[in-house]
Amino acid sequence: MPENNIQSTKEPSFSHFFTHLIRALQLVWSVGPGLFCASLTLQITRGALLAVSLYLTKLALEAVQSGMDTGFHSEDAFRHVLFLIGCGTLALLLASLGRAWLEWLTTVQSQRLTDNVSSSLHTRSLDADLEYYESPNYHDSMHLAQREAFYRPARIMTNLARVGQNGLALLGVAGVVWLGSWVLALVLFGAAIPGMLVKLYYSRKWFAWQTGMAETERQANYINWVMTQETFAKEIRLFDIGAWLKNRFILLRDKIRTAKSSIAYQRSLRESATHLGTALALFGALVWIAHGVFEGRYTVGDLAMVMLAFQRGQQYITETMSGLAGLYEDNLFLSHFFRFLDLPPTVVDKPVPTALPTTFNDGLSFSSVSFRYPHAERNALSEIDLTIHPGELVALVGDNGSGKTTLMKLACRLYDPTKGHLQLEGIDLRDVSKNALRQSVSAVFQDFARFQFTAAENIGFGDTTRDLESCELERSARQAQLHETIEKLPEGYHTTLGRLFQGGAELSLGEWQKVALARAYVRHSRLYVLDEPTASMDTRAERNFIEELRKHLHQSLGLLATHRLSLARLCDRICVLGDGRLVEQGTHEELIELGGKYAHRFATQANHYRERS
């Protein structure tokens, strides 16, 4: 099951770290091989220049000491000192220029990488099967992937640059120190090991905490969204639940902040101890080399070089280890991103899909179809046998949870049946390309989308395979009884719908539902799947809707789910679902005569309307 692939919060091993690092480097390479090579060249050059500068400083100090011993009687000796100082200064200047250009290259690479990662994330989100969206584990995984993926690639570039620049500079400095004393070179490296271990340990701990806290953070984000969106504004004020929401948000944030602060405190405490150890190592090394100068084993230049080497070396080591720890942390978090990209599909096309027939004669048939949602305890549908003929409008009625919406999802191949066969013109839907099938389906779901774009764009989304003429958009709007409403908007079809953006115009819920219908009508569909399509319409609009829908059903199939039996009786056939099973089917008259579940329900609704009138 797909949830098994997304719910894991197990901390990646070091082998996974290298795997993810390689994938991250591949991402970096993909945004510009030339930029990558230029950056690497500058890093190597800068590291060499810093080492040369340090060694030239040692030579210059020794030349000055020699000149002081001889009284600078030779102009050549003074010129030699000036030459060494000039070369050392030039090396430092070139290294500084290299760093400036490296920062530019890193910025360019980071921006490109962030855009590429965003594109990959959006592509995978759009390709993910509906099954994932209906899983809380998916939302945890998506939350972690989205939260980290937009800035972690830029941090990878920054940390790679840190490791490259400072690591190569450190090798140069260590080489210079090694020429004077291999013991000091080992001390230089050894003093940094505790700090590196502390950083790696807390990177892993931080990752584990963030992963375990995903659900809590999503809850806090959701409450923040609820308190700031128009969708919930009326109920929040009417029922006075603002204070409850705010207190709940504070409690969640307190939980997150307390745990995060505790980890940060522990890390700072241990890093302080490692800094103390590094300072003691530096003190001991300088005392030892100074004693060697007094004994004549080392020169003043050696002492100055060691002092500069330790100062710079510790800086380079700190930066290098921080970069490595950062890379490790980045890759831990990118594991969520890569895991998200690697989600396996659950609705899979055959290698060579079967083409859809151009005309329908037999229609759509469910043969002993059963379906169970992942990790559910019982079937949502059981042993459904149903055929929808071309030109026929079939109504699905039943209590909430009876399986109406699930049956429609199967018809759209948003899921595949757990058992049985779903066939279109005798062809199993598993053998048909899911994209080709969906392009022949028009759907209006109960939770229809309200896109905060223009009216024209909202309708045009119904068929993105071609450029729609304005007359086609207007025709679809008229069919959905929406044209007059749009014409009254400030900019007509170019008016942005909703209040999210400046200049937007809000519609009523019924008008939004007509937008969804217009979107369905604009596509030349072979199957119309409509879930409570008139829930927000009045009785007159409901009857007009049926009349208009029938114009689209020539050689097409119609499947309509509704709680309104006044709408169901206008359909060609009514199917009654109960507990995921098809319990009755027939025309309105046949079901009334049968005196079963539908007849009882219809009588109850009729009595209700009579009492209201």
DSSP 16-40: HHHHHHHHHHHHHHHT-HHHHHHHH
For 411-445, write each residue's pLDDT tens digit.
988 899 999 999 999 999 999 988 888 888 888 88
Which distant-in-sequence residues (6+ apart) come within 8 Å of 599 by Cβ?
591, 592, 593
pLDDT at 604 over 60: yes
Which structure tokens are listed for 543? 């009857």
Amino acid making up residue 111: Q
| Three-state SS at 421 | strand
Are 299 and 68 within 8 A, CB to CB?
no
| Three-state SS at 424 | strand
| Three-state SS at 535 | coil
Where residue 21 falls among pLDDT bands split at 50, 70, 90? Answer: low
Alpha carbons 294 and 276: distance in angstroms, whole number = 27
Alpha carbons 595 and 137: distance in angstroms, whole number = 45
Tokens 């720890």 found at? 325
Are 380 and 371 within 8 A, CB to CB?
yes
| Gyration radius of the chain's alpha carbons | 35
Listing DSSP states for 246-306 in one string gives HHHHHHHHHHHHHHHHHHHHHHHHHHHHHHHHHHHHHHHHHHHHHHHHHHTSS-HHHHHHH
Are 467 and 531 within 8 A, CB to CB?
no
End-to-end CA distance of the chain: 52
For 75-118, write each residue's pLDDT tens digit.
677 777 788 888 888 888 888 888 788 778 877 877 787 788 77
Question: Residue 213: what pLDDT?
Answer: 78
Which distant-in-sequence residues (6+ apart) come within 8 Å of 345 by Cβ?
127, 129
Question: Residue 5: what pLDDT?
Answer: 44
Are 436 and 353 within 8 A, CB to CB?
yes
Are 483 and 459 within 8 A, CB to CB?
no
Which distant-in-sequence residues (6+ apart) come within 8 Å of 293 by Cβ?
299, 300, 302, 303
Alpha carbons 515 and 448: distance in angstroms, whole number = 9
Global confidence as pTM: 0.66
For 109-140, write each residue's pLDDT tens digit.
777 877 887 777 777 777 777 777 776 666 66
Backbone angles phi, psi at 423, to 5 degrees: -120, 140
Mean pLDDT of the chain, nearest integer: 80
- Helical ranges in 128-213 per DSSP H: 130-133, 136-149, 152-180, 182-190, 193-212
Mean pLDDT throughout 513-526? 88
Beta strand 364-371 with 381-388: parallel, antiparallel or unpaired?
antiparallel
For residue 428, list its beta bridge partners. 423
Listing DSSP states for 81-145 in one string gives HHHHHHHHHHHHHHHHHHHHHHHHHHHHHHHHHHHHHHHHHHHHHHHS-HHHHT-HHHHHHHHHH
Alpha carbons 475 and 482: distance in angstroms, whole number = 10
Alpha carbons 490 and 483: distance in angstroms, whole number = 14
For 381-410, write each residue's pLDDT tens digit.
999 999 999 989 999 999 988 999 999 999
Counting Cβ atoms within 10 Å, is residue 164 exposed (0-12), middle (13-18) or buried (19+)?
buried
**Residue 481: which region, alpha, beta or left (left: phi > 0; alpha: psi -120 to 50)?**
left
By residue count, the chain amounts to 613
